[in-house]
A and B are shown apart, each in its own frame.
Chain A
Amino acid sequence: MIRLPAAATAVLFLVAGFVLLVLYGPLFVAVFFSFFSFENNAVQWDSFSLDAYWSLIHDESIIDSVLNSLLVGGVAIVLALVLGTTLAFYYNGSRSRFREVLQLVIFLPFLMPPIITGLSLLVFFREVDFPRSLVTVIIGHTVFVLALAYRIILARLQTLRTSLVEASLDLGASRWQTFRYVLAPSLMSAIGSAAILAFALSFDETLITLLVTGTESTLPMRLWAMMRLGFTPDINALVTVILVATTVLSLVAIRFVKLPDQS
């Protein structure tokens, strides 16, 4: 990059520092008050306790919502990966003009604001008389993360040379064997990246979920319901646990995920 004057570099660091403070400051405040209490306009330094975490483990509604989130995320990523792989294979092998239309349709839930995706699914489920439940949430999440899974897998597929497939078929392998022993191993890391990112997206998804869910809550929805009560140690403890989990997940993602843009 351009060799900048010292003053310009200082300004860049200043902006970055300010933004970091704004991005992380509020989160640290929440983490801090999961351990300490605040009374009489002062932090009670001797009030350190883990009670908030203890009551968290005993709160069944929170445990249920975590399990729901894991279930929805798990099923949605498996569906999105299978579909995404199928679609990537179709797009890669097809000469049809409609494949571009199909690709646009897949990208729609990613391009449109989530409220549109969520509401159109809501109307659809009602028109076909399908009751709202975790199943509808799973469908919503699958549709939402599909574009990402598809894109990452397709990018990898397009870098593979067709000669590999031809060699495998020439040597007498069936199509399934070619997929199983030649293509799948080369696609594995892309599928892994897609799985991590898709799970992270699903775990945090709130807007679509809120619109298509029945009576069950996922974790973000449960949090949202709790938040209306205000700033309490219990919520702070839950926030801390989630922050730690997502930080670990994103560190793993940064370590292993190769986005198509970087290749």
Chain B
Amino acid sequence: MPRGDRMSAATETERAAGEEGLAAYRFILTVLAYAVPFVFILLPLILFLIQSFYYVEDGNIVHQLTLRNYERFFAGRGFVPVFFNTILLCLGVAAITVLFGYPIAYLLASLRGRRKYVMMVVFVVPLMMSYIIKIYAIRAILGGNGFLNRILLYLGVVDEPLTFLIFNLKAVLVTLSIILLPFAVLPIFIALERIPRSVVDASADLGASAFQSFRDIVWPLSVQGTIVGATFVFVLALGDFITPQMVGGMSGFTFGRIIYSQFGFAFNWPFGAALSVILLVVVLVAIVGTGLITRARHQL
């Protein structure tokens, strides 16, 4: 038998074995890849969605599908106004963070060298800082017995501590804005960094004023990042229930708090689930809307 044949036969079997191994490897990888996300992310969400169609009777959850939770939301007096107020509140937070975040992102993008590095550190570090601690610190400043009031009393500006600084929706607005501001700065900064310097230089060379360059070149190229930043902040603000609870007091009731209370002392999980589904719809509209706007602009 010629040697060549034996060799090719050997490689043949090796290849077959290799392909079999590859197929097995692929199969295991596929199962592993799908199992965890589907069991621990998708399945809970689906169960949660189904939960919103159950109802509670005598303190027990009845596993029977009904629309009464959604009816209660739309018919009940208390929920729809809180829902819209919360959306307005979160839009306000998004607007404030973008209003302050844009100039900061612009400053970061225009700095060079060491100054840029230091400024970036200063604005990125708060992103990693504990969320609870920020609420605590802000509350210590705004509170009736807080630092701001003590300073005002000390300076003689007021005779009695101001009570409107905390435990209302405005305090929630201020606190959320402070906490979420770095989340708005980051996407705007990334968008501004991506603008080629040559484009801005060309605009100036062609005689555009600083304002014209900004309006016609920089702003259109960074508006996407700004929208992404605003959406990011809006979604994070919408789902928060600890901040409103800590600085909102009795009058600072938000949708997130109502949802949370359904899983606590109110003990109506199905109703809480239904309210969450409504919240999720708003989030989806915001995210999909952002996706559409940014994609449409991308194609221009």
Contact = CB atoms under 8 A, between A and B. Distances in A.
A223 B130 contact: yes
Interface residues of A, number: 82
B141 A41 contact: no
Nearest to A125: B44
Contacts of B110: 1-2, 4, 12
Contacts of A106: 37, 41
Interface stretch (B66-74, B76-84, B163-171, B268-276): B268-276
A116 B41 contact: no
B33 A15 contact: no
Contacts of B127: 250
B239 A113 contact: yes
A83 B239 CA distance: 27
A240 B6 CA distance: 74
Contact of A29 (B44, B122, B137, B197): B137
B137 A123 contact: no
Contacts of B121: 250-251, 254
B162 interface: no
Nearest to A109: B41
Contacts of B192: 1
Interface string B224-240: 00000000000110111
B213 A19 contact: no
Contacts of B279: 113, 115-116
Given A1-B218, A119-B273, A220 B44 contact: no
Contacts of A115: 239-241, 256, 259-260, 276, 279
A263 B285 CA distance: 31
A206 interface: yes
A102 B213 contact: no
Nearest to B153: A41
Nearest to A115: B239
A253 B256 CA distance: 32
B248 interface: no
A58 interface: no
Contacts of A57: none
B104 interface: yes
A71 interface: no
A90 B48 contact: no
Contacts of A91: 33
A259 to B, nearest CB: 9
Contacts of A102: 33-34, 37
A239 B134 CA distance: 9
Contacts of A29: 137, 140-141, 147
A233 B265 CA distance: 31
A121 B45 CA distance: 8
B32 interface: yes
Question: Range of interface residues on chain B?
Answer: 35 or more
Interface in A197-253: 200, 203-204, 206-207, 210-211, 220, 223-224, 227, 230-231, 235, 239, 242-243, 246-247, 249-251, 253
Contacts of A13: 107
Contacts of A105: 37-38, 41-42
Contacts of A143: 40-41
Given A30-B137, A224-B132, A239-B136, A124 B47 contact: yes
Contact of A239 (B37, B100, B133, B147): B133
A193 B259 CA distance: 35
A5 B181 contact: no
Nearest to B147: A29
Nearest to B178: A22
B136 A23 contact: no
Contact of A123 (B34, B48, B109, B256): B48
Interface of A: 1-5, 8, 11-13, 15-16, 18-20, 22-27, 29-30, 38, 41-42, 83, 86-87, 89-91, 93-94, 98, 102, 105-106, 108-109, 111-116, 119-124, 127, 139, 142-143, 146, 175, 200, 203-204, 206-207, 210-211, 220, 223-224, 227, 230-231, 235, 239, 242-243, 246-247, 249-251, 253-254, 261
17 contacts: A12-B106, A16-B103, A29-B147, A113-B240, A115-B240, A115-B256, A116-B280, A119-B276, A120-B48, A127-B47, A143-B41, A200-B128, A242-B133, A243-B129, A247-B125, A254-B121, A254-B124
Given A113-B238, A119-B272, A203-B130, 14 more contacts: A25-B141, A105-B42, A113-B283, A116-B283, A119-B276, A143-B41, A207-B240, A223-B130, A223-B133, A227-B135, A227-B246, A231-B146, A242-B133, A246-B130
